[in-house]
A and B are shown apart, each in its own frame.
Chain A
């Protein structure tokens, strides 16, 4: 069980809903992953269109919690407006705040992020900021009112996995009481297990599942990896040693000579 902002969640995996081969596979992947939180977005609806209705109906049928995002927003104004519209539609004050700073790398504009976080926290939102692993930015986000942080571990959709373990370890050490969710850059279940072993509270991913040859199988694999990584972390992981140490007792060994 995972207590996130006063809500008890059965899973530490948060799953995105984009890029699946079909709505049915998305639904099956969500179930197989064991997730209880999915991310969604808002886009322009065509006149007379029903695309939004069909998607929204599917998501509601899954019985999971909704974390709307502000994906694609490049300014504070865009992100704040999108968040307000998301609250209207989805009926939740949770918002995954993205303020993108670069078209190519999709890295967050951390200055705009802090500003938007401040505005939204003041307005009663529970802001989940998509940020880097920079400690100073993290402190500013907390000062702005964020109660949870979502650092990347690699660029969005890159599947590189944790490319700066030291930074992630440092972040965990600096903010022992803040829920930390690794968001973006995970490519395979072992990446998820690795960051969970570091003590991160949860992971959020999308592309690695949606673009797998079998998204449902991969969703299940990620669910297991997240659980395994968490259990390993709380069980106390053996630190690496330079010397070999025999695991079989040496006392009582027979002597043949």
Chain B
């Protein structure tokens, strides 16, 4: 499946958003995720089905002013 993750193209075999995070070695409870500009809550990642062409954003805490 072709996906865009944080702006980069990926070819990943992942049925759900949780599968994708595991496949790309993301882990931890400090991440926020969005698919096609909609927030996907942490608790919903395991059941969130991905589709070809989905745009995924994976964000984490960073310094800010």
Contact = CB atoms under 8 A, between A and B. Distances in A.
Interface of A: 16-20, 26, 39-53, 55-56, 59, 68-69, 71, 77, 81, 84-86, 88-90, 156, 206-207
B39 A68 contact: no
A39 B62 CA distance: 10
Q: Give the one of B26, B30, B59, B61 with max A CB within 10 A.
A: B61
Contact of A85 (B25, B26, B39): B39
B60 A41 contact: no
A175 B37 CA distance: 37
A89 B64 contact: no
Contacts of B31: 45, 52, 89
A43 B26 contact: no
Interface string B12-29: 000000000000111010
Given A44-B58, A85-B34, 16 more contacts: A16-B63, A19-B65, A20-B63, A42-B61, A43-B60, A45-B59, A47-B24, A47-B25, A49-B60, A51-B60, A55-B62, A71-B65, A81-B34, A85-B59, A89-B32, A89-B59
10 contacts: A18-B65, A40-B61, A42-B61, A44-B57, A44-B59, A48-B24, A48-B25, A55-B61, A86-B32, A88-B32
B65 A207 contact: yes
A203 B45 CA distance: 39
A41 B28 contact: no
B51 interface: no
A17 B59 contact: no
A42 B59 contact: yes
Contacts of B60: 42-45, 49, 51-53, 56, 89
Contacts of A51: 60, 62
Contacts of B62: 40-43, 51-52, 55
Contacts of A26: 63
A45 B65 contact: no
Which of B34, B37, B58, B62: most chain A CB closer than 10 A? B62
Given A17-B65, A18-B63, A69-B65, A77 B37 contact: yes
B63 A89 contact: no
* Among A39, A52, A55, A71: residue with most chain B CB under 10 A: A52
Given A47-B5, A53-B28, A90 B34 contact: no
Given A40-B63, A71-B65, A88 B42 contact: yes
